[in-house]
Amino acid sequence: MRLKGKVALLTGAAAAIKGELMGFGGAAAHVFAREGAKVVLTDIRDELGDRAAEALRAAGHDARYMHLDVTSEEEWTRVIDAVMAMHGRLDILFNNAGVGFPRKVEDITLAIWEQELNVHAKGVFLGTRTAIPAMRKGGGGSIINTSSVMGIVGSPTSPAYSAAKGAITVFTKSAALQYAKENIRINSVHPGYADTPLTEQRFNDPAVRQVLIDRTPMGRLGTADDIANGVLFLASDESSWVTGSELVIDGGMTAQ
Ligand X SMILES: NC(=O)c1ccc[n+]([C@@H]2O[C@H](COP(=O)([O-])OP(=O)(O)OC[C@H]3O[C@@H](n4cnc5c(N)ncnc54)[C@H](O)[C@@H]3O)[C@@H](O)[C@H]2O)c1
What are the residues binding ligand X (CB under 6 A)?
Answer: 11-12, 14-15, 23-26, 43-45, 68-71, 96-100, 119, 146, 148, 191, 193-194, 196-199
- The phi, psi pair for 133, rounded to 5°, reads -60, -35
Catalytic residue among 65, 161, 179, 193: 161
Q: Shortest Cβ distance from residue 4 to ligand X (Å)?
A: 26
Q: Report helix, strand or coil for 159.
A: helix
Nearer to ligand X, 119 or 135 (CB): 119
65 catalytic? Reply is no
Q: CB-wise, 57 or 202, nearer to ligand X?
A: 202
Cβ proximity to ligand X: between 49 and 141 the closer is 49
Specify whether the CB–CB gap between 33 and 233 falls below 8 A: no
Q: Give the type of residue at 204.
A: N
Cβ-closest residue to ligand X? 23
Tally the C-alpha atoms within 13 A of residue 65's C-alpha that lie toward its C-beta.
Answer: 24
Which residues make Cβ contacts (< 8 Å) with residue 95, sequence separation at least 6? Answer: 11, 70, 123, 124, 127, 128, 143, 144, 145, 146, 168
232 exposed, middle or buried (CB, 10 Å; 0-12, 13-18, 19+)? buried
Which residue, 55 or 138, has its beta carbon nearer to ligand X? 55
**Beta strand pairing status for 63-67 and 246-249?**
unpaired
Question: What minimum distance in Å lies between the beta carbon of 12 and ligand X?
Answer: 3
61 vs 120 by CB, closer to ligand X: 120
Coil/strand/helix, residue 190: strand
What is the rounded distance in angstroms from the CA atom of residue 238 to the CA atom of residue 93? Answer: 16
* 33 and 39 Cβ atoms separated by less than 8 Å: yes
Cβ within 8 Å of residue 221, ≥6 positions away: 192, 193, 194, 195, 203, 209, 212, 213, 251
Give the catalytic positions in this structure.
Answer: 161
